[in-house]
Structure 1
Amino acid sequence: MLTEFFTLNRIDPAARSLTYADIPASYTFHLRPKHWSRRKKGYVIGRIVFIPPGTTDVYFLRMLLTKVAGPTSFEDLMTVDGRLCKDYKEACMLRGYLIDDGEPEATMVEVGQWGMPALLRSLFVMILVHSEVADPRKLFETNWRLFADDFSYQTRRTLDMQYFQAPDQYLRNEVIKHIEALLHTHCRSLDDFGLPPPADLGQNLVGNRLICEQLNYDVCMQQRTAEQIYSTLNRGQQDAYHNIMNSVDEGAGKFFFLYGHGGTGKTYLYNTIIAKLRSQQKIVLVVASSGIAATLLPDGSTGHSRFKIPINIVKKGTQLAELLQQTSLIVWDEAPMTHRFCFEALNKTLCDLMGVPFSGPTFRPFGGKTVLLGGDFRQILPVIPGGGREETLNASIIRSPLWLHCHLLCLQQNMRINHDVINERLVFDGMTFPQWVLAVGNGTVPAASLDDNNDRAWINIPTCLVLPPNGDSIAPIVDFVFHGLLDSYRSVSFLKNRAVITPTNETVSRINASVLSCIPEETKTYYSTDSLCTESTDDSELENLYPVEFLNSLVFNGMPEHELSLKLYTPIMLLRNIDPPAGMCNGTRLMVVHLGTNAIKGIILTGTYEGTVVAIPRIALNFSEHKWPFTMKRRQFPVRLCYAMTINKSQGQTLDRAGVFLPKPVFSHGQLYVAISRVRSAAGLRFLIHNDSSLPTNCTKNVVYTELYSELIFQGNSEGFFFNSRLHISSPSLPYIFSYHYLYSRTWT
């Protein structure tokens, strides 16, 4: 059967797109005479005899037959990029199916052909932190000269000596110092990887490096930035600015929450406060709950990386402890996404460091530090695996005892949505587009019960925003979002401003594959190497129960796929925080400009680091689910195509054109609101809804936990306030946040 499979591929071009395992689905085998012919009816799933994992040639031959399409001979299977391998194992290695101990070195050599020294140093640190390097010191000693080219140039320029050759000892030492600084941004050290320390202990000259990094700003430039931005703040932003600044200046240590829907200028206000305090040489720690939001903040990082969440004990006397003690303000964006236990753990850590009791009359939240959380409770709440409505609400910060001490600030004026003719046009029930977006988030759009669950959650979508369905086809939404794709697929501005948004990863993969097939570039496919973590179980029989092909088929949320197909100029999204200080965070979107064997070269599309060229290596990722009795290790590029993205991943993104594809309704609080609030204008938003035949195609579910908004008021401190211009009650029977107005005379109405 195998040799006739080779013969079939030589004579039938249609068979060359199939692997040996796939061929029975389209062809049938005849014993007399032995040959394959096109299948006329029925459906068969192919199965190759199982070979236990090992080092035998048959095992690696089997691996090739499950992955290589259209081989014409055994020699063809063993040929990779025109090179005939000595055996099947080497062929598997060169094709990327096996973990190659020499891959880190090969990655450095490959990127060294086009990468600058600073990029190579960052790549070296990424490989150390996220991959398993057998001998980090050997990798350093082999490549340190690649890292030092810019130091040689800088030395010649400083000395004004064109042909001066800096001593190797000096250059090597400069490289070590810079790598040490990069490792510190990942909270790691040279000692962790057995690397030599710098010859001169420069860190003793600067004292606490973490503190020095937070004070390393141009004071005059920060002052000019603060003054310039402040002059453009609206009334609500100015009032919030003064309340926060007064708390810092007076040492009041208040706990604030800046509440506002998308586009009300929360990030703009953060930037003003940060610039002002840094111009005064005060320390501001800036974090966000998601990587994409962190890239929009000046020197932002994720809360998990900055505060070591899940929090380890921060010992007094350490550099991190000293940094926290000297911090004047902590800014945390997209706080509603984070589990309240993270904030409570941070509170206990700061109370311990500042000597403040955890409870009682002298208790001060967060140890007396001024803390500014921000976000929109209309958006997605903490994700609780397997959790329901009550579990999700209990994980929210408003259910924390800390919320009793919170001072609530509110921004209402939308600065993102354009006030053009299209947006001001009435789209539904007497509302303009901006009003309708907020009504969806508040849950005040008229809803009905249309399913067996008897939930009054089904709402009508304005007809002007709905595309007519074409059976089960995704073509209408793809055509709207990527109109003119073939003419603009290489354009950065075209790719960064549009995407299809949908609830599930399964649908995302379907749309990405469909759009990728339209791009007139050569496809390059990367395969992951999957294995069971040896520390996850002591049962050696699991390797036989769960063969490699089964591990290849597993898909976890946030995990790159086993088979990753990319083309030049395609948009991709990072799935891990691999280098947050360089803008490479979970959710960062990039455009591919080079597809190497061991590294991908990309250009960051959005955020503070827009336009930066980066290198992405393969990294090792561990995954586990309660239904599997093991932890799986997958070595793959931590990216996925990004013509489409899930609603959860779209949070924090701003687009000119977004298509919301709903083959099934949303299933979590705030998802529909997040999807429709990604755009600046109603002209850039369209829906494609595939409902059951019994339901109209212009209605869908809107899941909103309305009790959240009432608790937002009633659990707040009596000194909390809203900057509203007038009292507005949208529904007398439902308590929403806009039902109250805090007058500047400090009396409640």
Structure 2
Amino acid sequence: MFQAHINVEICHKGRLIKYLFKYVTKGLQSVLEDPEKAKTMLTEYFTLNRVDPEARSIPYADIPSHYTFHLRPKHWARRKQGNVIGRIVFIPPGTTDVYFLRLLLTKISGATSFEDLMTVDGYLCKDYEDACLRRGFLSDDDESQAAIGEVGQWGMPTLLRSLFVLLLLHSEVADPRKLFEDNWKLLADDLCYQTRRALDLQYFQPPPEFLRSEVLKHIETLLHAHSKELANYNLPLPVRDSGELLGNRLVCEHLNYDLCMQQRTADGIFATLNSEQIEAYHNVMESVNSGVGRFYFLYGHGGTGKTYLYNTIVAKLRSQQKIVLVVASSGIAATLLPDGSTGHSRFKIPIDIVKRGTHLAELLQRTSLIVWDEAPMTHRFCFEALSKTLCDIMDVPLAGQSYKPFGGKTILMGGDFRQILPVVAGGGREATLNASIVRSPLWTHCHLLFLHQNMRINHDVVNTKMIFSGMTFPQWVLAIGDGLAPVKCLGENAELARIEIPQYLILPPNGTSIQPIIDFVFHGLLDLYRSVSFLKNRAIVTPTNETVSAINSAVLSRIPEETKVYYSIDSLCTESTDSSDLDSLYPIEFLNSLSFNGLPEHELTLKLYAPIMLLRNIDPPAGLCNGTRLMVTHLGNNVVKGLILTGTYEGKTVAIPRIALNFSEHKWPFTMKRRQFPIRLCYAMTINKSQGQTLERAGVFLPKPVFSHGQLYVAVSRVRSAEGLRFLIHNEDGCDATCTKNVVYTELFAELSMSGNIYSFVTKILPAYPK
């Protein structure tokens, strides 16, 4: 079961029992009078810290790795040879004050006494549990209260209200009503002024009941963006006017647009569209206005203006008071769309069922167009679930001649099948292809629209000159995506085929060092590490999280700012089977050592002005999505303040609290809960995470080849110019450092042509590459 050798010793003989209690049977006074008997490994650890400066940087659990304990006389001495791993005796979580003492000893270094362990910022705590709470090692509502108080010293009330909602959604607040009652006046600080201005009464003082109700309305609006209600958190309802009770709030929100401004936006963008965009525009508008309800897919590689076209269509329809729902497969893409959200949150897929008679069902019934960007990276079952839901709501049969996909609604999906496809846990090539929408029965109803002209890549000398086998840089990027880039290093096994990277894009390797790529991407770092424009336009991309962590640590070490470390609070979920038994098998320090994809590290090391990336969609309507990049501007005890670097919300200041994140993996028999800031450094990021990002300077570091469809294409298409792209390749298989693997599922492109579109896919999408 445990894949380990376990030695079981049973104390069952009388002489052994006598040995355990021999000091009691001998008489205890002489033992108490012996000063050596009062010394323990722990007390001598305190003594060691008082005399040895080097020991003060080492937690108690790690002391045996550097020192050895002598029994006569009892003392710690510096270890001369060997390597020992220390282990503190296990104590069940939260059972006694000894547990909290143990927790402090695993986190704190340099303590010289028990009182020293209990002292936090000059204050002597009443016990070890209190010390753990004040140091942030335990979670309760005090941390949420402290977070609001901390932001209240520098943040505006709008930011405080957003923070309050984030705490409700993600921080497992034990008593939300008490947290509200204790802080509503702070959250209402700006509403008094707003009321005076609305009534044109300069000195009017609104009654407290009115302000409290207005705060609840603001919180309710923020919760609605996450499909939550005040009742979900036992919060009181605001006092409403009768007019506020009328109508569907979701429908009202999606009709609440300045019609004249929307018309001006549509007219302004339409005048700049190219011929392909205009053709696609007229197709979609004709489907909406005629009520035909076609299913379109807008195919175009990065930079061809898909988002630009979406904005035109959406603005035009909203100017006509039509409802348009705009979603994307990833949070970072949703922030670039007009009032965008993720498809999973908007349509409650794949778990929740949208029932007839609900506000969301009415919204879907009245919707004229659904726009879904980055569709290729979403599992086809999500689209099939949405189609069945819409058919049910619109009373459209699921089969037969009168069947219409998506209930007869006009659907405009978009994306690039050269990019990363749906992620199937443990699945191979066939499983990934089977998850793609091209394998769905819906695809036979799809009409393909095409965009070819790249509006992102600069048409400078570097990009337009022939760089390799007669191709320009844009042609070479597309050739990689289509699997048509020239192949080198071709052996007997086709899996060994490699493509050659143009020589001038290669950084000369220096052994296994990553310094060459850091120096290229972050040239001038010491002078510009505080610059927003410097940080937002550059990053290193690499296939694995392990390499990302190594690069982030290396770059952070160069920043001349004070380091601050945040430790997560890890525990086993109480819902886990036999959680009481699992507690003894998996101690806290073991949980601390675990690292999962998409989960923040237990030990999060940050500095001011460092770039960070969000790992969760904690507030998409406010721009806080999985993949959002920010720059750290304040490191508090309970919140991290940051400035959003890119997207629609660029320049916005936000406060990020710790949140509770649950994670499970099939190889572990439990679900782990980690309470930590949902962020990680992003001087470097995985290739998958970089999808949707646009950079001026990017380094592609490949200690190992890419391993899934579209990864290399995504990596090379992040930049606007070839001048801003460089490769550093460390091929472990001994292959030439100018060559690397390119994974492309070419059969996917053949299946794309099986749509109902009358145009030939091959002649439309594949450019004319030089022979």
The TM-score bracket by the shorter chain reads over 0.9
Q: What are the residue-to-residue correspondences of 1:137-216 with 2, within 5 Å?
A: 137-201=177-241, 204-216=244-256
> Over residues 470-491 of structure 1, what are the superposed CA-to-partner deviations in whole Å (9 max), with x where a residue is unaligned?
2222111111111111111111
Q: In structure 2, how many angstroms separate the alpha carbons of the residues matched to 1:499 and 1:81?
A: 37
Q: CA deviation at 1:295?
A: 0.3
> Over residues 119-154 of structure 1, what are the superposed CA-to-partner deviations in whole Å (9 max), with x where a residue is unaligned?
111111111111212211111111111121211001
Q: CA deviation at 1:200?
A: 1.6
> Over residues 402-425 of structure 1, what are the superposed CA-to-partner deviations in whole Å (9 max), with x where a residue is unaligned?
000000011111111101011122
Paired position in structure 1 for 2:390: 350
Q: In structure 1, how many angstroms separate the alpha carbons of the residues matched to 2:249 and 2:108?
A: 51
Q: After superposing the two structures, state which structure 1 stretch, 75-84 or 671-680, moved more.
A: 75-84
> Over residues 13-44 of structure 1, what are the superposed CA-to-partner deviations in whole Å (9 max), with x where a residue is unaligned?
33333222223334444455554454444333
Please say if 1:547 is aligned against 2:587.
Answer: yes
- The alignment yields a C-alpha RMSD, in angstroms, of 2.0
Q: What are the residue-to-residue correspondences of 1:500-511 with 2, within 5 Å?
A: 500-511=540-551
2:443 to 372, 385, 403: 403
Paired position in structure 1 for 2:22: none
Quick check: 2:56–2:110 contact (8 Å CA) kept in 1? yes
Paired position in structure 1 for 2:162: 122
Q: CA deviation at 1:722?
A: 6.4
Counterpart of 1:719, as a letter, is I
Q: What are the residue-to-residue correspondences of 1:251-330 with 2, within 5 Å?
A: 251-330=291-370
Paired position in structure 2 for 1:746: none
Quick check: 1:449–1:455 contact (8 Å CA) kept in 2? no
Q: In structure 1, how many angstroms separate the alpha carbons of the residues matched to 2:321 and 2:559?
A: 51
SS at match of 1:355: coil
Quick check: 1:410–1:722 contact (8 Å CA) kept in 2? no
SS at match of 2:216: helix
Distance change (3 Å), C-alpha of 1:727 and 1:169: closer
Q: CA deviation at 1:108?
A: 1.4
Quick check: 1:19–1:65 contact (8 Å CA) kept in 2? yes
1:109 to 138, 142, 149: 149
Q: CA deviation at 1:368?
A: 0.6
Q: What are the residue-to-residue correspondences of 1:340-739 with 2, within 5 Å?
A: 340-448=380-488, 454-692=494-732, 694-713=734-753, 715-720=754-759, 730=769
Quick check: 2:140–2:173 contact (8 Å CA) kept in 1? no
Please say if 1:2 is aligned against 2:42.
Answer: yes
Q: After superposing the two structures, state which structure 1 stretch, 685-694 or 483-492, moved more.
A: 685-694
Counterpart of 1:316, as a letter, is R
Q: In structure 2, how many angstroms separate the alpha carbons of the residues matched to 1:650 and 1:386?
A: 22
Q: In structure 2, how many angstroms separate the alpha carbons of the residues matched to 1:202 and 1:724?
A: 60
Distance change (3 Å), C-alpha of 1:247 and 1:528: same
Distance change (3 Å), C-alpha of 1:673 and 1:652: same
Paired position in structure 2 for 1:737: none
Query: Identity of aligned pairs, percent?
Result: 75
SS at match of 2:190: helix
Quick check: 1:409–1:721 contact (8 Å CA) kept in 2? no
Q: In structure 2, how many angstroms separate the alpha carbons of the residues matched to 1:45 and 1:473?
A: 29
Unaligned runs of 5+ in 1: 733-749
Quick check: 2:475–2:769 contact (8 Å CA) kept in 1? no
Please say if 1:91 is aligned against 2:114.
Answer: no
Counterpart of 1:660, as a letter, is V
SS at match of 2:60: coil
Q: In structure 1, how many angstroms separate the alpha carbons of the residues matched to 2:54 and 2:717?
A: 45
Q: In structure 1, how many angstroms separate the alpha carbons of the residues matched to 2:491 and 2:85?
A: 37
Distance change (3 Å), C-alpha of 1:680 and 1:720: same
Distance change (3 Å), C-alpha of 1:212 and 1:64: same
Q: CA deviation at 1:700?
A: 1.2
Q: In structure 2, how many angstroms separate the alpha carbons of the residues matched to 1:698 and 1:14?
A: 46
Larger radius of gyration: 2
Quick check: 2:377–2:420 contact (8 Å CA) kept in 1? yes
> Over residues 162-202 of structure 1, what are the superposed CA-to-partner deviations in whole Å (9 max), with x where a residue is unaligned?
33211111111111111111111110111111112121256
Counterpart of 1:400, as a letter, is S
Q: In structure 2, how many angstroms separate the alpha carbons of the residues matched to 1:217 and 1:603?
A: 28
Quick check: 1:21–1:48 contact (8 Å CA) kept in 2? yes
Counterpart of 1:523, as a letter, is T
Distance change (3 Å), C-alpha of 1:726 and 1:502: closer
Q: CA deviation at 1:307?
A: 0.3
SS at match of 2:85: coil
Distance change (3 Å), C-alpha of 1:726 and 1:702: closer
Counterpart of 2:670, as a letter, is F
Q: CA deviation at 1:86?
A: 2.4
Q: CA deviation at 1:96?
A: 1.4
Counterpart of 1:495, as a letter, is L
TM-score (norm 2): 0.92
Counterpart of 2:676, as a letter, is Q
Quick check: 1:406–1:720 contact (8 Å CA) kept in 2? no
Unaligned runs of 5+ in 2: 1-40
Q: In structure 2, how many angstroms separate the alpha carbons of the residues matched to 1:37 and 1:581?
A: 58
Q: CA deviation at 1:11?
A: 3.8
Paired position in structure 2 for 1:135: 175
Distance change (3 Å), C-alpha of 1:68 and 1:105: same
Quick check: 1:449–1:456 contact (8 Å CA) kept in 2? yes
> Over residues 589-613 of structure 1, what are the superposed CA-to-partner deviations in whole Å (9 max), with x where a residue is unaligned?
1111111111111111110011111
Q: In structure 2, how many angstroms separate the alpha carbons of the residues matched to 1:290 and 1:302?
A: 6
Distance change (3 Å), C-alpha of 1:132 and 1:723: same
Q: CA deviation at 1:457?
A: 3.8
Q: In structure 2, how many angstroms separate the alpha carbons of the residues matched to 1:275 and 1:524?
A: 45
SS at match of 1:372: strand
Please say if 1:23 is aligned against 2:63.
Answer: yes
Distance change (3 Å), C-alpha of 1:455 and 1:655: same
> Over residues 525-575 of structure 1, what are the superposed CA-to-partner deviations in whole Å (9 max), with x where a residue is unaligned?
111111111112134211101111111111111111111111111111111
Q: In structure 1, how many angstroms separate the alpha carbons of the residues matched to 2:474 and 2:318?
A: 35
**How many positions carry a matched residue from both structures?**
731
Please say if 1:241 is aligned against 2:281.
Answer: yes
Quick check: 2:703–2:732 contact (8 Å CA) kept in 1? no
> Over residues 299-351 of structure 1, what are the superposed CA-to-partner deviations in whole Å (9 max), with x where a residue is unaligned?
00000100001142211111100100110100000000100000000000001
SS at match of 2:495: coil
Q: In structure 2, how many angstroms separate the alpha carbons of the residues matched to 1:30 and 1:727?
A: 75
Q: In structure 2, how many angstroms separate the alpha carbons of the residues matched to 1:515 and 1:308?
A: 40
Counterpart of 2:412, as a letter, is L
SS at match of 1:270: helix
Quick check: 1:409–1:720 contact (8 Å CA) kept in 2? no
Quick check: 1:23–1:46 contact (8 Å CA) kept in 2? yes
Paired position in structure 1 for 2:122: 82
Q: CA deviation at 1:684?
A: 0.9
> Over residues 660-719 of structure 1, what are the superposed CA-to-partner deviations in whole Å (9 max), with x where a residue is unaligned?
111111111000110110010111111111112622111111111010111111x11143
Counterpart of 1:716, as a letter, is S
Quick check: 1:393–1:399 contact (8 Å CA) kept in 2? yes
SS at match of 1:520: coil
SS at match of 2:655: strand
Q: In structure 2, how many angstroms separate the alpha carbons of the residues matched to 1:504 and 1:726?
A: 31
Quick check: 1:311–1:346 contact (8 Å CA) kept in 2? no
